[in-house]
Amino acid sequence: MRKLIGPFSQILTLDKLPDKGALSDSQLEIVENGGVLTEDRKIVAVGDFEALKPKADSFEEIKEEAVLLPGFVDAHTHICFGGSRAKDYAMRVAGVPYLEIARAGGGIQSSVNKTREASLEELIDGVSLRANRHLAQGVTTTEVKSGYGLSLEHEVKMLRAIKEANETGKADLISTCLAAHTKPKDFDGDNEAYLDYVANEILPVVKEQGLSDRVDIFTEETAFTVAQSVKYLNQAKAMGFDITVHADQFTSGAGTMAAELGALSADHLENSGSEEINALANSDTVAVALPGASLGLGMVYTPGRKLLDAGACLAIASDWNPGSAPMGHLLMQAAVFGAAEKLSTAEVLAALTCRASKALKLDDRGVLATGKLADFQAYPCADYREILYHQGMMAPSKVWKNSELVKG
Ligand code: NIG
Ligand code: FE
């Protein structure tokens, strides 16, 4: 059964764009009075609505003006967690340093304690709630990290919760093992010993049980050094995992490492310098900006303009987590970041769709084209420039996942 959805005032396909470097809005492919023909979960054709009519067996009529975009792909979140860090946040915005907050019982370790206390069911409910909120805002694919368990039992519990939420919910959830987030307080040994424990005891179970294909690490002075990270990431690669890195958030260096190791993405990059920017631009590693963390921590943005001008592939993700990025509103963050970094609408929209898909090695989505998944979202306007102009306050009126209307 072929279903024709439309007509739309404009369809932005995000197709046929270069996968790296700066973009201008004139490069956007826009279909006026367009329709999307779908069959099962996929797109059969995108084109003029009237011309597609004879090919359809059924119709889903759009009665209002609307602009259609691919569903957003959020390539970096930590939406599986227990508890809240509102007290940390209040202290931090009032100027209390991060380390002092950690000493007062806050920081990542406090989310670890709450996540360890949470049952599998409570974690599933939390992930599902947040993934569904994201879906209603047009995010049809969301990456979700573990990293608040930090022991075999609790990392596996987190990854099971993500898997279960993926199986029961409408959005696609892509899990990543972030057991190398930080060394937990109760681990008896140094950083190297902890990473050996993760590589030898946790990753084999993650692999055997099919809980994730992706491994992440927080490379930072306060977490793991570049040398420690290189050893661990090479072990993960040898086990068949794709790798990604929390890089250059406070101090630089890890962006270059990520590019050299062939990571799928290097995320954060707020403090990347010209060396890291050039290394990323000359690699296939996607540079993922996380403006939600800059907003949450009151710190500089990732140098998005410089990365694009150097030729990098830039994606934008929410980093939604209970500590540094509690907002979780991807479109709002992308619009604000784009204004601050002087990005074109094409650059922002590509960073949320086709370029974000690349960070997750998913080539079946992120553009509206024949053969791709029928994941898309309609905004109540007639001109695509309205979307970022409203800075996140214009939500999609309709969202489709695998051709099924899931909102609207
Ligand atoms: O991506 N930078 C490290 N990890 C997370 C923060 C986690 C937390 O504070 O709970 C991030 O910002
Ligand atoms: Fe993160």
ipTM of the complex: 0.96
Domain C-terminal end among 335, 359, 383: 359
Number of residues that this document lists for the chain: 408
Tell me, using a 6 A CB cutoff, whether residue 324 lines ligand 1. Answer: yes
Which pLDDT score, from 0 to 100, does residue 97 have? 86
Q: Write the CATH number for 39.
A: 2.30.40.10
Residues 189 and 287 reside in one and the same domain: yes
Collect all residues with Cβ–Cβ distance below 8 Å to 314 and sequence separation of at least 6: 286, 287, 288, 289, 304, 307, 308, 347, 351, 355
- The predicted pLDDT at position 100 comes to 86
Q: Which residue's CA lies nearest to atom 1 of ligand 1?
A: 319
The string of DSSP codes covering 152-208 is HHHHHHHHHHHHHHHHHSSSEEEEEEEEES---TT--S-HHHHHHHIIIIIHHHHHH
Residue type for position 26: S
Torsion of CA 33, 172, 230, 100, to 10 degrees: 100
Question: In the structure encoding, which two tokens stand for residue 309, read together?
Answer: 């001008």
Structural domain for 39, as ranges: 2-70+366-407
Residue 161: exposed, middle, or buried by beta-carbon count in 10 A (0-12, 13-18, 19+)?
A: buried
Judgement on whether residues 182 and 133 belong to the same structural domain of the protein = yes
Answer whether 323 contacts ligand 1 (Cβ < 6 A): yes
Please tell me the predicted confidence (pLDDT) of residue 104. Answer: 82
Distance 40 CA to ligand 2 centre (A): 34
Q: Are residues 224 and 196 in the same domain?
A: yes
> From the CA of 221, which ligand is nearest?
1
The pLDDT averaged over each successive group of 10 residues in the chain (408 residues) is: 98 98 98 98 98 98 98 99 96 89 88 98 98 98 99 99 98 99 97 98 98 98 96 98 98 97 98 98 99 97 99 99 98 99 99 99 98 99 98 98 98
Q: 313 and 374 share a domain? A: no
Give pLDDT, residue 15. Answer: 98
Same-domain check for residues 144 and 78: yes
Q: Are residues 115 and 230 in the same domain?
A: yes
**Are 82 and 56 within one domain?**
no
Q: How high is the pLDDT of residue 118?
A: 98
Same domain, 101 and 240: yes
CA-proximal residue: ligand 1, atom 6 (nearest): 324
Residue pointed to by tokens 């898997």: 163
CATH number at residue 234: 3.20.20.140
**Cβ of 253 below 6 Å from ligand 1:** no
Residue of minimum CA distance from atom 12 in ligand 1: 324
- In the DSSP assignment, the letter for residue 299 is -
Task: List phi, psi (to 5°) of 376.
Answer: -155, 170
Q: What are the residue ranges of helices labelled H in 18-171?
A: 49-52, 86-93, 98-103, 108-117, 120-136, 152-168
Element (H, E) at 392: none
Domain match, 337 and 210 both: yes
**64, 203: one domain:** no
Query: Do residues 337 and 397 share a domain?
Result: no
State how far the Cα of 143 lies from the Cα of 137, in Å rounded to an integer.
15
Q: How many domains does the chain have?
A: 2
Q: Are residues 379 and 285 in the same domain?
A: no
